């Protein structure tokens, strides 16, 4: 029997070739982000499709994204919306926002997307204080040390049936290190502790392996 030496990224490429058609807007967004020197932290194409499927599954009309980067995941999620839907994305970097705005424009989605500039914690607090309507789907993918703040804010901006997804919760297994001093790992550990104590949710976590390494998502639905 021939030993299987395929790498996880090879399997991602295999699945992508079979399941994801070529997409000029997404490829251009990825290229522009690379050319602008943005950190390579966007979701993979397969993960983007996964998020889009989940948003469609809950018939999301209002989506909140915490962490825009170059707008790659924003495009995937915005495409799940109906014609009168709304996606609000929060981004702290003006340079990142500029790249994302162009990517969203080129994808023909500007009429659906509002990218707000500022620290997400401050923007979220202002949204809650102003009584902004709740969201059907929330994707948290910003600085990990602030995950507990983002989680508590997400709950306040949710309603029964809201789906909340948090990216990068495995971090190559580093979350098992109870002596870590890495603030990003601690942020994920604190997030999971908060989730375990939150009432009125059903939650799980899934490990992922592929072109983005060994990581995963925490997934919760508000009951």
Complete domains list, the chain, with CATH: 8-222 (3.40.50.150)
Contact by Cβ (8 Å): 143, 114: no
Between CA 113 and CA 89 the distance in angstroms is 7
3-state secondary structure of 3: coil
What pLDDT was estimated at residue 55?
98
Q: Within 13 Å, how many C-alpha atoms sit on residue 62's CB side?
A: 11
pTM of the model: 0.96
In the predicted structure, residue 5 carries a pLDDT above the cut 70: no
In the predicted structure, residue 26 carries a pLDDT above the cut 70: yes
What pLDDT was estimated at residue 13?
94
- What order do you get walking across the sheet with 201-210 strand by strand? 113-117, 86-91, 62-66, 137-140, 163-167, 213-222, 201-210
Exposed (0-12), middle (13-18) or buried (19+): which is 107, by Cβ within 10 Å? buried
Between CA 141 and CA 167 the distance in angstroms is 5
Q: Write the CB contacts of 175 (distance below 8 Å, at least 6 apart in sequence).
A: 169, 185, 188, 189, 192
Which tokens belong to 202? 């059903």
Give residue-wise pLDDT tens across range 89-100: 999 999 999 999
What pLDDT was estimated at residue 4?
66
What pLDDT was estimated at residue 6?
74
What pLDDT was estimated at residue 103?
98
Q: What is the mean pLDDT of residues 30-57?
A: 96
Chain centroid to Cα 64, Å, comes to 9
In the predicted structure, residue 1 carries a pLDDT above the cut 90: no
What pLDDT was estimated at residue 83?
97
Give residue-wise pLDDT tens across range 46-74: 999 999 999 999 999 999 999 999 999 99
Mean pLDDT score across all residues of the chain: 96
In the predicted structure, residue 25 carries a pLDDT above the cut 80: yes
Binned at pLDDT 50, 70 and 90, residue 3 comes out as: low
């Amino acid at each position: 029997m021939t030993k299987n030496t395929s790498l996880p990224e090879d399997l991602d490429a295999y699945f992508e070739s079979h399941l994801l058609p070529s997409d000029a807007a997404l490829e251009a967004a990825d290229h522009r982000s690379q050319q602008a020197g943005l950190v390579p932290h966007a979701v993979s194409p397969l993960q983007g499709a996964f998020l889009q499927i989940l948003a469609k599954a809950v018939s999301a009309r209002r989506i909140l994204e915490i962490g825009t980067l170059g707008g790659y995941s924003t495009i995937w999620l915005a495409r799940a919306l109906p014609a009168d839907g709304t996606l609000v994305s929060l981004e702290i970097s003006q340079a990142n926002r500029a790249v994302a705005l162009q990517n969203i424009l080129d994808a023909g989605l500007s009429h659906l997307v509002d990218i707000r500039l500022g620290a997400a914690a401050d923007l979220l607090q202002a949204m809650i204080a102003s009584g902004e309507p709740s969201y059907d789907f929330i994707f948290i993918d910003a600085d990990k040390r602030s995950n507990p703040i983002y989680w508590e804010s997400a709950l306040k901006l949710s309603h029964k049936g809201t789906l909340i997804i948090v990216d990068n919760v495995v971090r190559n297994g580093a979350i098992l290190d109870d002596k870590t001093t890495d603030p990003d790992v601690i942020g994920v550990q604190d997030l999971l502790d908060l989730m375990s104590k939150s009432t009125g949710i059903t939650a799980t976590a899934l490990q992922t392996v592929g072109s983005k390494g060994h990581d995963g998502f925490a997934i919760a639905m508000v009951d």
